[in-house]
Amino acid sequence: MMDRVLVVDDNTENAELLAESLTLMDYEVEIAGDGFEALRKIEAKKPDLVVLDVMMPKMDGFEVCHVLKTNPSTRSMPVILLTAKKDTPDKVKGLEIGADDYMTKPFNPKELAARIRMLIKRRVSEERHAVEEKMGALGLMAEGVAHEVRNPMVAIGGFARRIHSSSPEGDPRRGYAEHIISEVERLERMVNAIVSFKTLNLNPSEPFDLAETVKTALGDKAEELSGRKIEVSVSIGGGDATVTGDRANILIALGAVLENSIEAMEGGGLMAVDIKPQKESVKLVFADTGHGIAREDLPHLFNPFFTSKMSGAGLGLTIVHRIIAQHRGSVSIESEAGKGATVTIILPRHKACEI
């Protein structure tokens, strides 16, 4: 997945030349001709970084940068300011309003590309650290939650079942008891998910074939896939797909990914699974034709307890993230509401493998 860069410059020729240069360096580039257009495209496209010219009509680069850095949803988006001015006050002003870097024209495109890579890498690292902190806090509270919730939950469920069994058909208490039992079962699933997360440890690593493991995960879900009338296609690229790690935990992660896709395709659909061995990694891509995910939900999908579903613990994707991170891999999700979702998992290849 290519990093997305938005180039903002009212000089069309300069913007196109920079965009062409960055495209050749494997960036996905959008262009905006003024500050207002830039803000619209940032809202719609969610770029990984913005290269922003300072001197523009309507709204200059300083104003755009200020808007981005005072908005919680775009505050962490890296911004590089470009200007023909070499005056120190302009540089200081840019950094004071939150710009992450500053370059004067003319500049070396390769140097700019290096700064872009550094800033995107830093942002990814900071976001990963924030998620890991949340997961650490979850681990500390999980044991207490399981203990404090499970005991009263067992009592509530037990008494509700007794009321249900002793109430005749048509008695309103029977319906109330059914509802209580259903909610207790939901709480039980949540507690079990928390306990699973708390006790999720990486077992001794060993080499295993990731392609075969994906097939096993699909086989485990065969009944659900068939029941939902979901057609599955599997594509395996050339090369060895051997990775090193805990195969059982990877199966848990793959199962959670598949479960999300299955739940998103209530009326049937298509799931395409692509396994691509690369030079130093194996890339897995799961693409479905489900109901998709709202744009505003995407940044929160790996957060503990976040869920857009009516029920569930909201820990499935958090567990996926933790397992893949334990294996020194990465997981990302791209989606639009109504247009399905694509989950990409990248795991390091077993060192003994050579393509």
pLDDT tens-digit series, residues 214-273: 999 999 999 999 999 999 999 998 888 999 999 988 998 999 899 889 988 988 999 999
In a domain, 65, yes or no: yes
Tokens of 259: 């479960």
CATH no. for residue 301? 3.30.565.10
- Residue among 343, 320, 327, 329 at smallest CA distance from 135: 320
Together in a domain, 190 and 236? no
Q: Of 176, 198, 220, which residue is a domain's last?
A: 198
- Report how far residue 133's alpha carbon sits from residue 220's, in angstroms, rounded to the nearest whole number: 32
* First vs last C-alpha separation in the chain: 21
Query: Looking at the 3D structure of the chain, how many domains does it have?
Result: 3
Q: Both 210 and 188 in a single domain?
A: no
Same-domain status, 163 and 288? no
- End-of-domain residue from the set 198, 219, 238: 198
Give the domain range for residue 34: 4-107
Q: Positive or negative, the Cα torsion across 311, 315, 317, 320?
A: negative
CA distance 242 to 343: 20
Would the pTM count as exceeding 0.75? Answer: no
SS3 content of the chain, % helix, strand, coil (to 5): 50, 20, 30
CATH number assigned to the domain comprising residue 73? 3.40.50.2300
Residue 307, pLDDT above cutoff 90 = no
CATH code at position 147 = 1.10.287
Do 183 and 211 lie in one domain? The reply is: no
Same domain as 164, residue 71: no
Cα–Cα distance between 297 and 222 in angstroms, integer? 29
Residue 176 shares a structural domain with residue 301: no
pLDDT of the residue at 125:
80
Name the nearest CA neighbour of 297 among 325, 258, 337.
Answer: 337
Q: What is the DSSP letter of 167?
A: S
